[in-house]
Amino acid sequence: MEGTLINLSFRQSWNNLVDLPANLSSVLYNANVSPQEVIVELVLQSQQKSYVGWSGMSSDGPKIVSMDPIFAHSLKLADKQLLTVNVKIRNPKTSTIFLEPEHSSDWELVELHSSYIESKLIEQSRCVALNQVLVVYPTKTSSVRLLVKDIGNPEFTYALIDPFAEISIAPKLKERKKRTSSHSVKSAKSNRSTHEDANVGPCVLKRGIGLPNDLFLEAQCKENSKAIEVYANLNELLHIFNRADFVSVSIVLGPSVKAEHPGLESNQKHNSGLTKDKDSVHLVENPNVIAKLVSYPSAPANTVGLSKDLATMLNVEGMIGFKVVLKAAVKNVSKRPSTFVIHPYIVQTKKTEAINLNSGLKGEVQSKLSQGISLFLYEKGNMITDSPITNMTRIPAIPGVLPHGGILCFKRIDDPYAWIKPYSLEGKTPPKIEIGQELPRASTFVENILQLDPSPLYGSDLTLDDIVDHIVSFNNSGIMLHGPSGCGKTLILQHATRKLRHCGFFVKFISCETIMNESIDQLCNNFSKWINEAVWYEPSVLILDNLDKILSAEVEHGDSSVSNQLSEFLNSHIQKVNSQNKTNISLLVSGVSKDSFNKALSLSHLIEDYIHLRAPQKIARHEILNEYLVNHLGCSIKFDIMDIVLETEGYLPNDLKVLSDRIFYECLYQKQLTNCRDLQLTVTKSMLEKAISGYQPSNLRGVKLQKSTTGWEDIGGLTEAKNVLLETLEWPTRYAPIFQNCPLRLRSGILLYGYPGCGKTLLASAIAGQSGLNFISIKGPEILNKYIGASEQSVRELFDRAQAAKPCILFFDEFDSIAPKRGHDSTGVTDRVVNQMLTQMDGAEGLDGVYVLAATSRPDLIDSALLRPGRLDKSIICDMPKFDDRFDILQRICLKMELSEDVDLRKVAQNTAGFSGADMQGLGYNAYLKAVHEKLAEQETVLASVSSDDKTYEFFQINSEKLKSRSLKPSDKVRLLHQIEKILSNPEGMFEGSGKKSDESLAVVIRQCHFDESLDETKPSISASEKAKLTKIYTQFSTGRDGNMPDGAASNDIGGRTTLM
């Protein structure tokens, strides 16, 4: 849309936007063009061009363009002036803008309304153009004029403002007044010219990293570690500084500086107030420090490194990502100062008694301070010999001399831009050192808050490297670290923070547990502040530890509105930032599980990679125990440490730490009991058993484990099934080092099938006790649910529970009811369960330490996919017991019974052909009950005969009245008491006819007749027809299959059945 002649009309709008005529507005709206995409070019008759944004509104007339009068005057436009209007639609965007106030009064308004201007500048403007004035309206009655110096790309003269653009405003200082009383006119002119050179000279904005940092490792290894230097790739600066040796370095403030770095904020705030009076000292640190420019070709692009002392002077020591302004250094002072005045920092005001010292003692203290500071400044390899020194600059702390540091000033030189070059002191007298007035400073300013090293990390190096490599390789990445409490999430994130900082990333670490009780407004403000801070210091990583404490999952019968609002707020803000070009802000969060987070977080695609922390394997447990118990706690182990490793299967890192502490304290306790003077703590087997007894790892707390009372010796027959189970379950656990080197994938699933009552369930419960594995038994109704997704969730939780309790046996009884062939269930519940079980049993992760046992009497009903290799690899038949098996079963059943000599178990076994194992058990129990009934009948007969022979006893007393009246002698009383005690102690012995009953008469003895009677009453539970049917099914299942398993589709034959039977 080019070449439209229109008149200009003024309208008070307090912005840099114009209203277009209605015909132009309607054309743009009909073309679905947003006002944010439009730039309006205004061309005067003199061909002067100005670029403004469109407000989206229509003007009052068909040939009128309306704009704010103040903005129009800044563009040198007059009311009712004729203009040519060109509408630009496809326009470039800029994310970096450099502005400069037109006058010092504009800079004062910027300082006064900095927060308001930061939030409203983009709202009041849509575009910028080189060397064009931008007007910002802090209030209705004031305006700030800012000149656009750079828009980030030299190829364009105008561009749209990106919503997340980085806007920098250079300061504009007032010229200092002349001082005729203390300086000559000539010196005043030179000072003014120095100020003008410092403010007007060329400058460049770079990303800064305060040393020490691994990106500038070679610079840290230099012999002169006290140098005030800037390390940069000179190829990026040659066109600006023309091979300058010294540059002026200053810091541009970012968001949240006042709250976290108050000293840095005060430096910038008092940039124009570097003055001191006679009565009191009002010195602030010079925000512009002259440093030596050192070539560092391997520096990252657009990044410079600040030496440790230079970072301390600018109060950015150890920080990463701050913005550094480099300017050409002004001319140094020609005459070196003869005296340096040092103003020490004090954290708190001294008491009056400490100040009122006699002059001699005070002079002695100042003399010692001067000597210590002289060594720091003039010693070889220190400041003055190798580095420039700037007036009114901060000097770092000197141990034993200046505990908090101070400010160095040139005596009788008040110019804050004065500096001297480094020079050799050979044959020259160094400047004198004077101690000036002390300067009070806040403790947060003078004390460097060092990042404490996290606790050592063992066994998780691969996980840590994966996190760091993913963030370094991909921009705007998102990683979720999830695992149970105690698995080491926070420690891994702390180590990731340290490694990422050495890779040049700004890292913001937030522990969400500390802010989980704040209001939603406070949390939203915190999220905004952290994201803005990450944008300023990018490339950045935002680490939110335990984020599921704030963005928790929705609860069915609870209020989840706060979690939903916070999730949407965080998603929208991060997505807006990541949608911009050349942004690199990664997100790293942690929580208990993926399901513990709000669904909005996973659906927003902010998280790309999920890392699940599980219980450490044997090698990792060995490393953790060896490093912590042996090296950290200093214990000596008399046995192989692998014995502890094998006992701690399923322990999390925190459990291993707690167990090591229990072993350590047990050693101290035993050492105290034995009064042992040996300094070495020695761990024995008994100490390990005492420490581990009664301790339950966190993974097993709340996990319902079944305790099997059935032993291996209680099961008769099934010899082949026992051997296969031992080979599959017990051997890999007992001989783990041997099986670990096996190149084949170990078998982890077994299907027990066979006739009903042949010991499938009994065999599964007995193997858990035999092998020492945890045992979890599952019935069908526990995991089946009619709601979509609920059954699959139950299956996932079941396998997670088994994984937490590993080594563990997961036993599914009546497996055909849980996982039948797919396609026959009208509700689709079992189909979804089968799909989920296929994924869990042979998915990408596989099963480690979890063995699946399934029992069924109808293997033909099970879905064929579950029977393929990798899932239920081995199928074991529990066949009908033969003669030897029946005889073995009878022997195992009768182990706890007393048999008479006439019992012939072989004869009983021969007469029980066709009996299952359960039938044999019922036969033995029935024989025992018959013996019990016979014994009870005998005892009733004996009791009846004894009751008929009962005698009646009569008691009478002679001369009772005389005995009552007569008092007993003490000896008679004693004799009488002895007789009573004897009667009470053995009442049955007083009667001759009672006698003792022998234990043998109470024993229940089973005779052959009892087995014969029981055999007559007991019939096989499996009929011949049913046995033939099952035999045919088992034969077809084991040997008759051709590999083409039924797919579960309904039969199309006439008369065909559609049920699973």
User: 111-120, 719-728, 819-828: which range is least confident on average?
Assistant: 819-828
Residue pLDDT, tens place only, 651-680: 888 888 898 888 888 888 887 777 776 667
Tokens of 233: 């790739």
For residue 86, the one-letter residue type is N
| Per-residue model confidence (pLDDT) at position 382 | 60
Which alpha helices (H) appear in 674-716, and where do they start and end? 685-692
* N residues, the chain: 1061
pLDDT recorded at residue 264: 52
All CATH 3.10.330.10 domain ranges in the chain, comma separated:
4-169
Q: What is the DSSP letter of 780?
A: G
Share above pLDDT 70 across residues of the chain, in percent, rounded to a whole number: 80
User: What's the rounded mean pLDDT across residues 395-407?
Assistant: 84
Domain 200-350+358-446 belongs to what topology? Barwin-like endoglucanases (2.40.40)
C-alpha span between 772 and 649 (Å, rounded): 12
Order across the sheet with 506-511: list the strands.
Answer: 506-511, 540-545, 585-591, 478-482, 609-612
What integer pLDDT is reported at residue 1051 of this predicted model? 53
Residue 836 in this model has a pLDDT that exceeds 50 = yes
Q: How far apart are CA 21 and CA 61, in angstroms?
A: 6
Count CA atoms closer than 13 A to 197's CA, side-chain side. 15
pLDDT in tens, 50-103: 999 998 888 888 888 999 999 999 998 888 888 888 888 888 998 889 999 988
Tokens matching residue 455: 């606790």
**pLDDT of amino acid 985:** 61
Query: Which structure tokens are listed for 536?
Result: 């300023």
Q: Domain 618-700: which topology? A: Helicase, Ruva Protein; domain 3 (1.10.8)
Q: Where in the chain is the domain with CATH 1.10.8.60?
A: 618-700, 886-941+1002-1021
- CB of 162 closer than 8 Å to CB of 96: no
What pLDDT score was predicted for residue 1024?
86
Residue 864: φ, ψ to 5°: -65, -25
User: Which class would CATH give 4-169?
Assistant: alpha beta
**Looking at residue 951, what is its pLDDT?**
53
Q: Does residue 759 have a pLDDT over 80? A: yes
* Amino acid identity for residue 183 in this structure: H
pLDDT score, position 258 = 47
| CATH architecture group of domain 461-612 | 3-Layer(aba) Sandwich (3.40)
CATH number (3.40.50.2000, 3.40.449.10, 1.20.1250.20, 1.10.8.60) of 886-941+1002-1021 reads 1.10.8.60
For tokens 């802090």, the residue is 138
pLDDT at 569 over 70: yes
Residue 178: pLDDT band with limits 50, 70, 90: very low
Would you tell me how many other CB atoms lie within 10 Å of the CB of residue 1048? Answer: 17
The better pLDDT of the pair 139, 147 is held by 147
Q: How confident is the model at residue 353 (pLDDT cuts 50, 70, 90)?
A: very low
Q: Categorize the per-residue pLDDT at 1059 as very low, low, confident or very high, splitting at 50, 70 and 90.
A: very low
State how far the Cα of 229 lies from the Cα of 292, in Å rounded to an integer. Answer: 5
Q: How confident is the model over 559-564, as a mean pLDDT?
A: 86
Beta-carbon count within 10 A of 935 CB:
15
What is the reported pTM? 0.65
pLDDT of residue 495: 93
**Euclidean distance between CA atoms 1046 and 1010, whole angstroms:** 49
**357 pLDDT tier (thresholds 50, 70, 90):** very low
With a cut of 90, say whether residue 371 has pLDDT above it: no
pLDDT above 60 for 305: yes
- State the virtual CA torsion across 722, 723, 726, 727 in degrees, nearest 10: -150
Is pLDDT of 487 > 60?
yes
Confidence grade of residue 712 (pLDDT, cut at 50, 70, 90): confident
In this predicted structure, which of 222-231, 333-342, 750-759, 1030-1039 has the lowest mean pLDDT?
Answer: 222-231
Is a pLDDT exceeding 70 seen at residue 345? yes
DSSP-assigned letter for residue 1050:
P
Could you give the angle at which helices 114-124 and 104-112 cross, rounded to 10 degrees?
A: 100
Mean pLDDT over residues 342-356, rounded?
Answer: 63
Structure token pair of residue 183: 């300086």
For residue 645, the model assigns a pLDDT of: 83
Looking at the DSSP bridge assignments, the partners of residue 167 are 97
Q: Which CATH architecture has domain 712-880?
A: 3-Layer(aba) Sandwich (3.40)
User: Is-contact 486 652, C-beta < 8 A?
Assistant: yes
Name 781's Cβ contacts closer than 8 Å, sequence gap at least 6.
none
Bridge partner residues of 83 (DSSP): 6
Which of the 8 DSSP states describes residue 895?
A: G
- d(CA 859, CA 882) in angstroms, rounded, equals 22
- Whether 393 and 250 have beta carbons less than 8 Å apart is answered as no
962 has pLDDT over 70: no
pLDDT at 269: 47
Considering the chain, what percentage of its residues have pLDDT values greater than 90? Answer: 13
- Residue 185 per-residue DSSP state: H
The CA-based diameter of the chain, rounded to the nearest angstrom, is 156
Q: What value does the mean pLDDT of the chain take?
A: 79
Cβ neighbours of residue 575 closer than 8 Å, sequence gap 6 or more: 604, 606
Higher-confidence residue of 830 and 181: namely 830
**Residue 135 confidence (pLDDT) above 80:** yes
In Å, what is the CA distance from 628 to each residue of 617, 635, 653, 660, 974? Answer: 16, 9, 11, 7, 72
Task: Check residue 970 and give its pLDDT.
Answer: 62
Domain with CATH 3.40.50.300 in the chain: 461-612, 712-880
Q: How far apart are CA 611 and CA 379, in angstroms?
A: 53
Question: 210: which residues sit within 8 A by CB, 6+ positions away?
Answer: 305, 306, 308, 311, 316, 317, 318, 319, 320, 322
The first and second tokens of residue 825, run together, are 């269930």
CA separation for the pair 127, 53 (Å, rounded): 6
Banded model confidence at residue 904, pLDDT cuts 50, 70, 90: confident
Digit-coded pLDDT (tens) for 3-12: 678 889 998 8
Instruction: Quick: pLDDT tens for 270-303.
Output: 444 444 443 445 678 888 999 999 999 999 988 9
Of 73-87, 111-125, 488-502, 770-784, the range with the lowest mean pLDDT is 770-784
pLDDT in tens, 446-485: 665 555 678 888 888 889 999 999 999 998 999 999 998 8
pLDDT at 186: 42
Q: What's the rounded Cα separation, in Å, for the pair 973 and 819?
A: 84
Would you place residue 224 in the very low, low, confident or very high pLDDT band (cuts 50, 70, 90)? low
pLDDT of residue 412: 85
pLDDT of residue 961: 55
φ, ψ of residue 671 in degrees (nearest 5): -65, -35
Give the pLDDT band of residue 893 (cuts 50, 70, 90).
confident
What's the rounded Cα separation, in Å, for the pair 122 and 109?
Answer: 17
Bridge-partner residues for 51, per DSSP?
41
Mean pLDDT computed over 703-724: 76
Instruction: Give the distance from CA 2 to its chain's centroid.
Output: 56
Helix axes 653-673, 618-625, angle to 10 degrees: 40
Cα(766)–Cα(731) distance, rounded to whole angstroms? 16
- Residue span(s) of the chain under CATH 2.40.40.20 come to 200-350+358-446
C-alpha distances out from residue 36 to 25, 166, 380, Å: 13, 18, 60
Residue predicted with more confidence, 155 or 542: 542
Residue 520: Cβ within 10 Å count: 14
Element holding 328 (H helix, E strand): strand 320-328
Q: Which residue has the higher pLDDT, 380 or 18?
A: 18
Task: State how far the Cα of 57 lies from the Cα of 11, in Å rounded to an integer.
Answer: 12
